[in-house]
């Protein structure tokens, strides 16, 4: 098996004429083999950088996501979650309004699982710093998550609690100074197999990648031939033949998680360009929302809600809130729809104009994000219906 793992690096690094990208099964083995001590950190780093230089394929990302997911406790799959909400990008300025939208959904009976990695891109403003200020519980294991979901319909989980691979990939990222396919793959894991899952991106072209990755993962979960066991004998016999897909057709389909199969059959993935890459609709621009299933894809355009909005740069420079102050602002907007100065005893430093603009941005962000989720759930047949429902939900919170 160690020789087979070494063969993955050879496959990627044989030169311009001899190298090729990994198949989904090979990428799955790259991740799972490292997790189980077959591959070394040096081998994994070499593979990641070879893929980074060439550009990762959808098959490689899908295989990596399935490999990461295979290291997660099956107890996460047993959680009753209706919306999977990965938040890994953070924001450079302003606040995570998406948390207000998530609270609205929880108040409507949805069970929302938020997750992210605040230790990665630590200079950014991650939701982990704000959830407790909005009475959103943090959970570190499936039992705690279940208790929180049962009690209030929402919880946040640091990605480290899902898999030890998260810390190892973060260490590689920081040591090498380069991103890898892990940053995309972790967003795609949907740990609890919720029927609705969100995907955000920033760089052009990643929308199409996320759409194809979602379809590849769905097909793999429905295909009994996918080797759930990374040491499948037949897989390794075919390694030198470039994983020619002559996998063991007699493999028992019960090896595939039923919850994963259910998501593959009926799950819906919402893909959009988020604010600075974070999983929140930007109300200042029109947004293309792709709704992907295992075999279909639909594109819906969400219009801007802040046409001609000015003063964003001034507002960003005016705000310099500590995490505690930011939590207070979020709480004020949740309860009252506006914020007051939380930095000084005098209110002069935090102008009424800034307070009004903050309220505008927050409300527009929440309504736009809720609209996208209602469309993703199939609750509305049109964007205008989704927006009306979102406005009503926000006002009735």
Q: Give tens-digit pLDDT for 65-104.
A: 999 999 999 999 989 999 999 999 998 877 899 999 999 9
- Percent of the chain at pLDDT exceeding 90: 69
Nearest-angstrom CA–CA distance, 18 and 14:
5
| Per-residue model confidence (pLDDT) at position 355 | 76
Strands 154-158 and 138-139 turn out to be parallel
| Per-residue model confidence (pLDDT) at position 358 | 84
Q: What is the mean pLDDT of residues 42-69?
A: 96
| Per-residue model confidence (pLDDT) at position 337 | 80
pTM: 0.89
| Per-residue model confidence (pLDDT) at position 26 | 97
Nearest-angstrom CA–CA distance, 258 and 163:
20
Say if 107 falls within a structural domain. no
Residue burial 300-338, b: 16+ Cβ < 10 Å; e: rest: bebeebbeeeeeeeebeeebebeeebbbbbbbbbbeeeb
| Per-residue model confidence (pLDDT) at position 232 | 47
Q: What is the mean pLDDT of residues 102-113?
A: 98
| Per-residue model confidence (pLDDT) at position 241 | 43
| Per-residue model confidence (pLDDT) at position 121 | 81
| Per-residue model confidence (pLDDT) at position 363 | 95
Say if 230 falls within a structural domain. yes
Q: Confidence class of residue 301 from pLDDT cuts 50, 70 and 90?
A: very high
More confident residue, 304 or 319: 304
Classify the C-alpha dihedral 377-382-383-384 as positive or negative.
negative
Say if 176 falls within a structural domain. no
Indicate the average pLDDT of the chain: 87
Nearest-angstrom CA–CA distance, 239 and 237:
6
Nearest-angstrom CA–CA distance, 105 and 152:
11
DSSP structure class, residue 345:
S
For residues 190 and 197, the answer to whether their CB atoms sit within 8 Å is yes
Nearest-angstrom CA–CA distance, 245 and 389:
47
User: What does each C-alpha distance from 384 to 226, 329, 390 come to in angstroms?
Assistant: 42, 29, 10
| Per-residue model confidence (pLDDT) at position 161 | 98
Nearest-angstrom CA–CA distance, 164 and 212:
27
Say if 201 falls within a structural domain. no
Q: Residue 154: is its pLDDT beyond 80? A: yes
Q: Confidence class of residue 60 from pLDDT cuts 50, 70 and 90?
A: very high
Q: What is the mean pLDDT of residues 152-157?
A: 98
Q: Residue 239: is its pLDDT beyond 70? A: no
- Secondary structure (H, E, C), 279-322: CCCCCCCCEEEEEECCCCEEEEEECCCCCCCCCHHHHHHHCCCC
| Per-residue model confidence (pLDDT) at position 312 | 63
Q: How many domains does the chain have?
A: 1
- Percent of the chain at pLDDT exceeding 70: 85
Q: Residue 225: is its pLDDT beyond 80? A: no
Q: Residue 182: is its pLDDT beyond 80? A: yes
Say if 301 falls within a structural domain. no
| Per-residue model confidence (pLDDT) at position 359 | 85
Number of CB atoms found within 10 A of residue 227's CB: 19
Query: What's 25's domain CATH number?
Result: 1.20.970.10
Say if 109 falls within a structural domain. no
Residue 318 has which token pair?
């005016």
Number of CB atoms found within 10 A of residue 208's CB: 14
More confident residue, 320 or 50: 50
Q: Quick: pLDDT tens for 243-293.
A: 333 333 323 333 557 778 888 888 999 999 999 999 999 999 999 999 999
β-sheet bridge partners, residue 218: none
Q: Quick: pLDDT tens for 316-354.
A: 555 666 677 788 889 999 998 876 655 444 334 456 777
Say if 369 falls within a structural domain. no
For 70-74, 121-125, 196-200, 378-382, which range has the lowest pLDDT when averaged over its residues?
A: 121-125
Residue 182 has which token pair?
């892990």
Residue 159 has which token pair?
């990605």
C-alpha atoms less than 13 angstroms from C-alpha of 91 in its C-beta half-sphere: 20
DSSP structure class, residue 21:
P
| Per-residue model confidence (pLDDT) at position 249 | 32
Contacts of 379 (CB under 8 A, 6+ apart): 386, 389
Residue 333 has which token pair?
């907007």
For 171-180, 222-231, 269-278, 327-336, which range has the lowest pLDDT when averaged over its residues?
A: 222-231
Say if 118 falls within a structural domain. no
Contacts of 169 (CB under 8 A, 6+ apart): 180, 182, 186
User: What does each C-alpha distance from 135 to 115, 272, 310, 372 come to in angstroms?
Assistant: 16, 27, 32, 24
More confident residue, 178 or 346: 178
Q: Name the nearest CA neighbour of 326 among 338, 343, 311, 314.
A: 343
Residue 236 has which token pair?
């390794």
More confident residue, 360 or 114: 114
Q: Name the nearest CA neighbour of 154 among 141, 138, 143.
A: 138
Nearest-angstrom CA–CA distance, 328 and 1:
54
| Per-residue model confidence (pLDDT) at position 376 | 97
Name the residue range of residue 250's domain: 2-72+223-257
């Amino acid at each position: 098996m160690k020789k087979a793992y070494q063969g993955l690096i050879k496959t990627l690094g044989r030169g311009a004429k001899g190298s090729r990208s990994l198949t989904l099964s090979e990428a799955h083995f790259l991740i799972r083999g490292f997790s189980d001590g077959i591959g070394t950190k040096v081998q994994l780093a070499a593979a990641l950088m070879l893929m980074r230089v060439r550009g990762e394929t959808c098959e490689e990302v899908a295989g990596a996501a399935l490999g990461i997911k295979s290291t997660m406790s099956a107890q996460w799959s047993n959680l009753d979650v209706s919306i999977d909400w990965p938040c890994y990008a953070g924001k450079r300025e302003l606040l995570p309004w998406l948390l207000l939208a998530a609270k609205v959904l929880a108040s409507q009976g949805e069970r929302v699982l938020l997750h992210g990695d605040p230790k990665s891109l630590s200079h950014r403003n991650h939701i982990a710093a704000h959830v407790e200020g909005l009475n959103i519980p943090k959970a570190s294991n499936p039992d705690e998550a279940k208790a929180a979901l049962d009690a209030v319909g929402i919880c946040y989980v640091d990605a480290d609690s899902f898999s030890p691979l998260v810390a190892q990939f973060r260490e590689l990222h920081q040591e090498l100074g380069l991103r890898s396919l892990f940053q995309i793959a972790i967003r795609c894991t949907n740990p609890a197999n919720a029927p609705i899952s969100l995907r955000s991106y920033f760089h052009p072209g990643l929308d199409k990648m996320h759409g194809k990755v979602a379809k590849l993962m769905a097909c793999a979960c429905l295909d009994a031939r996918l080797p759930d066991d990374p040491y499948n004998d037949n897989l390794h016999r075919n390694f030198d033949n470039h994983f020619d897909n002559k996998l063991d057709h007699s493999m028992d389909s019960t090896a595939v998680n039923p919850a994963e199969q259910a998501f593959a059959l009926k799950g819906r993935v919402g893909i959009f360009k988020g604010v600075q890459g974070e999983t929140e609709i930007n109300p200042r621009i029109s947004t293309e929302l792709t709704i992907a299933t295992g075999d279909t894809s639909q594109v819906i355009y969400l219009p801007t809600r802040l046409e001609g909005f000015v003063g964003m740069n001034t507002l960003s420079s005016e705000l310099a809130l500590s995490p505690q102050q930011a939590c207070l602002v979020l709480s004020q907007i949740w309860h009252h729809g506006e914020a007051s100065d939380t930095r000084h005893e005098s209110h002069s430093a935090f102008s009424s104009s800034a307070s009004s603009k903050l309220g505008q941005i927050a409300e527009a962000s929440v309504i736009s994000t809720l609209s996208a989720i209602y469309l993703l759930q199939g609750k509305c047949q049109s964007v205008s219906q989704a927006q009306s429902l979102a406005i009503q939900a926000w006002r009735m919170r």
